[in-house]
Each structure stands twice: as structure tokens, then as C-alpha cells.
């Protein structure tokens, strides 16, 4: 083989290799473009959702939407189950894709994760009997019962009634603390969840009247028709 023929063969070989590499690149690029142009399903908010909302609640407000793959927001969830045990840390607006970046672990938020919308946490001190210390547990529900003194200082009238019902116990006195308090006569405290309107009545009662918490049943709690007990009604109804 002459020198010239060898160079021609090498040139043809290099041209074939270049052509094959070009075809391979074009094929892969075409596949990449087709893959990017495809659509995927994401979850978007059906309405504005404020920060602090439980993930389980957010999950019920989501809608599926098909978008181009290139339009998917980083961290977008692929299933509502991913946020069930989370809490929203920043607002999500209607039509916005839901991402894990807006959520934090609910357990890490403590009692804050249990407060939504108009709910507030209030801590109140009292003696062990008032607070059911040693009996109450976080997650229990209680009623606030009180004896209300007539605001007229010249009146001796007192009325007893259940002022608020079904309050969630966020933090309860510990059993050890209850035993020490009972012997010392000191006070302990409990943290309850109340609405922003209930808190006004709650605060008035604990600051001005005699009161106590009463534990509600864990299952199938029923509320009787409300009434007000006075000296006359107690004497009239007797032991009924």
C-alpha cells in the first residue's frame, strides 16, 4: 500500500467515525428534547393556604395538574402523602405548585403544630384540683366550669355553669409535679388550646371567679343542654 492510499484510508475511517459520533449526538439530543417536552403531573393548591396549616389539611386542598417537565418546580411533591405529617411554614397561594421546601416536621414544631387559624394557646396556673394534675394528659379534652359572682359589689348572687366546652390540652402537669404540689399547696400550670374569642371568657373567669377543669370522655362525648345553677335552682331541683 502506497503512502497516498494509506492516507486516504485513514481519512475515510476518521470521516466515518465522525459521522457516527454526530449521529449518536443528534439521536441523544432528540431523545432529551422529547423527554423534556413531555408532561408530568404535579400538585397545586386549590386556594390560598396560610402558614401553620397542618400537612394533612393541606393535602385535602390540592389538585392535580399536568405541566411540561421543564416547568416542574424543584422539590415539587409527587404525592400528598409526603406532607401528611408536616406543617406548612410559609403561605401557599392558589394555583401554586406545592413543594417540600415549604414544610417542616410537625413533631419538631411542638404545640405550634396544633394551632391553626383562630386557635391560640394559653397557659393558666391553678392548684392540683383545679387542673386535674396527675390525671390530665396532653391530647385530653376538658370543659371549664365556674362559679360566677355578680359584678355588682352589693349583690351576693353566684351562678355556676360550664363556661367553655371541649378545650384541647396541649401540655398537662406531670404526675411527679402533681404529687409535690398536693403536699405543698403550690400551683402548677396547664396549656390549653382556645379560640381567639373563647380566650376572653376564659381569661375573665380565671382572673375573677372560682373555676375548675373537668375531663371529658375520650370517646363519644355528649353535651347536655346547658343551664345555669343558682342557689334557688339547686334547692329547687334537689338531688335530681
Report how far residue 182's alpha carbon sits from residue 174's, in angstroms, rounded to the nearest whole number: 12
Q: Return the domain boundaries, the chain.
A: 39-110, 118-218+226-237
- Which CATH number does the domain 39-110 belong to among 3.90.1210.10, 3.40.50.720, 2.60.40.3500, 1.10.3720.10? 3.90.1210.10
> Shortest CA distance to 115 belongs to which of 57, 60, 62?
57
* Confidence band of 239 (pLDDT split at 50, 70, 90): low
Whether 182 shows a pLDDT value over 60: the answer reads no
pLDDT of residue 97: 92
Residues 6+ apart with CB under 8 A from 160: 145, 146, 147, 148, 228, 229, 230
Backbone torsions φ then ψ of 184, nearest 5 degrees: -95, -20
pLDDT of residue 184: 52
pLDDT of residue 62: 92
* Confidence band of 143 (pLDDT split at 50, 70, 90): very high
Average pLDDT of span 166-176: 83
Q: Which tens digit of pLDDT belongs to each residue from 24-65? A: 777 666 666 555 557 888 999 999 998 878 888 899 999 998
pLDDT of residue 55: 87
Is 139 within 8 Å of 168 (Cβ atoms)?
Answer: yes
Is 103 within 8 Å of 86 (Cβ atoms)?
Answer: yes
pLDDT of residue 164: 92
Average pLDDT of span 99-126: 81
What cell numbers appear for 94 in the block?
392558589
pTM of the predicted model as reported, rounded to 2 decimal places: 0.55
Average pLDDT of span 186-215: 89
* 3/37: higher pLDDT: 3
* Confidence band of 183 (pLDDT split at 50, 70, 90): low
Amino acid at each position: 500500500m502506497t503512502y497516498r492510499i494509506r492516507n486516504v484510508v485513514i481519512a475515510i475511517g476518521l470521516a466515518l467515525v465522525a459521522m457516527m459520533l454526530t449521529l449518536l449526538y443528534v439521536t441523544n439530543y432528540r431523545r432529551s428534547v422529547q423527554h423534556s417536552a413531555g408532561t408530568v403531573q404535579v400538585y397545586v393548591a386549590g386556594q390560598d393556604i396560610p402558614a401553620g396549616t397542618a400537612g394533612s389539611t393541606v393535602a385535602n386542598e390540592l389538585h392535580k395538574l399536568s405541566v411540561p417537565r421543564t416547568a416542574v418546580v424543584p422539590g415539587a411533591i409527587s404525592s400528598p402523602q409526603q406532607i401528611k405529617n408536616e406543617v406548612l411554614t410559609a403561605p401557599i397561594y392558589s394555583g401554586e405548585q406545592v413543594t417540600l421546601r415549604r414544610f417542616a416536621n410537625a413533631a419538631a414544631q411542638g404545640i405550634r403544630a396544633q394551632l391553626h387559624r383562630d386557635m391560640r394557646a394559653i397557659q393558666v396556673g391553678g392548684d392540683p384540683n383545679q387542673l386535674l394534675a396527675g390525671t390530665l394528659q396532653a391530647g385530653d379534652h376538658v370543659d371549664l366550669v365556674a362559679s360566677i359572682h355578680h359584678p355588682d359589689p352589693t349583690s351576693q348572687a353566684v351562678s355556676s355553669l360550664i363556661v367553655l366546652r371541649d378545650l384541647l390540652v396541649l401540655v398537662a402537669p406531670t404526675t411527679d409535679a402533681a404529687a409535690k404540689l398536693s403536699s405543698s399547696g403550690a400551683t402548677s400550670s396547664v396549656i390549653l388550646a382556645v379560640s381567639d374569642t373563647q380566650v376572653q371568657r376564659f381569661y375573665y373567669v380565671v382572673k375573677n371567679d372560682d373555676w375548675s377543669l373537668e375531663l371529658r370522655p375520650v370517646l363519644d362525648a355528649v353535651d347536655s343542654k346547658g343551664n345555669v345553677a343558682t342557689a334557688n335552682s339547686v334547692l329547687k331541683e334537689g338531688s335530681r
